[in-house]
């Protein structure tokens, strides 16, 4: 993954989360991963196209998703209903869109697909041969892992 792409994603994830949650967000150590990864329970995915191809996956467990949805809506959400799902989807959309805007300013052309959300137990995402950058974020609501896999169109 090109070095230029890393910062926009890290920065926008940090900024957006801090803003919507109105609280302290910490960024963990970045690392690369290429094996299949278990999904913690709730995963929002945004596809990328244009000069590049790839996707961004936001992974968190169910209590974290509910806590984030509650914080963003200013009310207590206890079940993974439509509102909760829409909120998490929106969070994914905001972060990715802000990153893509930053990249656009740097001269990279990206398009994004509408986000999709997956919920369930014991899920696993495997796309073989794709190396992903993992950006772990610690929020008071719980841990969110942002998994970015982008590659240049050959």
Partner 1 sequence: MSVQAADKSDAGVRHDEKKERADKIDFKMVTFSLAGKEYGIDIMNVKEIASAGRFTYVPNAAPFVRGVYNLRGDIISIIDLRIMFHLPAERKDDDALESLLILRIEDHAFGVIVDNIDKVVGVSRAGIQPPHPIFGDINVKYIKGIIENQGKLYIILNVEKLFAPKSEEAPAEALAPAARMAAAPAPARPREQGAASASADVNADFVKETLFAFKRFGVSSVNEEWFKVRYGQWSSSRKATDIQLKEQPEADQFLETFYSPCTGELWSEAYADAVVAAMPRFESKSINVWNPGCGKGYETYSLAVALRRSYPEARIKIWANDSDLLAISMAPNMVFTPENVPEVYRGMMVKGRNGFTFEQSIRDSIFFEFHDVMNSNPVPPVDIILCRDTVSFLSAADQNKLLSDFCEKAKHGGAVVLGSNERMPMDGWNRSGESPVSVYVKEA
Sign of CA dihedral 137, 140, 143, 145: negative
> Does the footprint of partner 1 cover residue 122 (CB under 8 A)?
no
How many Cβ atoms are within 10 Å of 2's Cβ, its own excluded?
A: 11
> Does the footprint of partner 1 cover residue 74 (CB under 8 A)?
no
**CA angle, 152 as apex, 151 and 153 as ends, to 5°?**
115
Site track for partner 1 across 12-41, x = CB under 8 A: ------------------x-x-x-------
Report the run of H or E that residue 12 belongs to, with start and end: helix 3-21
**Of 3 and 121, which CB lies nearer to partner 1 in the complex structure?**
3
**Of 32 and 86, which CB lies nearer to partner 1 in the complex structure?**
32
**Of 18 and 151, which CB lies nearer to partner 1 in the complex structure?**
151
């Amino acid at each position: 993954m090109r070095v230029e792409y890393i910062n926009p994603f890290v920065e926008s994830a940090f900024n957006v989360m801090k803003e919507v949650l109105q609280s302290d967000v910490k960024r963990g150590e970045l690392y690369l991963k290429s094996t299949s990864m278990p999904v913690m329970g709730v995963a929002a995915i945004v596809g990328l196209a244009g000069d590049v191809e790839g996707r961004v996956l936001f992974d968190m467990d169910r209590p974290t998703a509910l806590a984030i949805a509650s914080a963003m809506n200013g009310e207590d959400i206890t079940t993974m209903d439509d509102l909760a799902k829409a909120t998490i989807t929106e969070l994914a959309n905001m972060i990715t869109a802000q990153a893509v805007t930053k990249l656009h300013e740097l001269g990279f052309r990206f398009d994004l697909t509408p986000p999709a959300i997956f919920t369930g137990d014991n899920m696993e995402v495997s796309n073989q041969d794709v190396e992903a950058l993992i950006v772990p974020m610690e929020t008071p609501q719980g841990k969110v892992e942002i998994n970015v896999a982008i590659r240049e169109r050959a």
